[in-house]
Amino acid sequence: MTDVRSAPSLTRLRDEQDIRDLGYRFADACNRDDGAAFRELWTDDGVWVIDEQMNLHIEGVDAIAGTRASLRSTWSFFVQMPHAPVVAVDSDRATSSWTVSEHAIDETGGRAYFNYARYDDVLTRTTDGWRYVSRHYRYYHLEQTGPSSDGAAPTRPGPGIH
């Protein structure tokens, strides 16, 4: 049996916890609409992909921060809840995956958004700690009620979305 008090085991556990903390800080920055805190979580050349319904592929921390601000501006209430992180560390690189749920309501209360999704991440260790190289968001389930900002009908789960 491995002694978890050994230096390699402690380093691995610390790295895993730091990566989990990064995921929680991501959700917290989104929930508080804190653009500066959100920006600090990424490498300068980071990539953020949101599949299916949004079909977004954003490259570079400035573009990522701007996209987050734009997406968040459409909601007066927004909360992201991360669940069940799985982390694998390999020296100064790591991967993680998260199940997340999100709830949002616009200013009038006439439009609402609810989903379950998965983030698949690639991370790197920097002098400032772990940072996202990429985050890939895949919807499991998506519901929107009320008209969208362009007047389109509400979104319901479609092909490939459960």
Per-residue pLDDT at 148 exceeds 80 = no
Assign domain 7-145 one CATH number from 3.40.47.10, 3.10.450.50, 3.40.50.1220, 3.40.630.10: 3.10.450.50
Band the pLDDT of 156: cuts 50, 70, 90. Answer: very low
Tokens describing residue 159: 């092909």
pTM of the model: 0.86
Residues contacting 89, CB < 8 A, separation 6+? 12, 15, 16, 19
Per-residue pLDDT at 152 exceeds 70 = no
Residue 145 contacts residue 154 (beta carbons within 8 Å): yes
Residue 75: CB atoms within 10 A of its CB come to 18
Per-residue pLDDT at 159 exceeds 90 = no
Count of CA atoms in the C-beta half-sphere (13 A) of 97: 5
Task: Look at the block and give the residue holding tokens 């309501």.
Answer: 105
Q: What is the pLDDT of residues 44-96, one digit of tens each?
A: 999 999 997 889 999 999 999 999 999 999 899 999 999 999 999 999 999 99
- pLDDT for the residue numbered 2: 57
Task: Look at the block and give the residue holding tokens 């959700």.
Answer: 27
Tokens describing residue 1: 């049996």
Arithmetic mean of pLDDT, 21-37: 98
pLDDT above 70 covers a percentage of the chain that reads 87
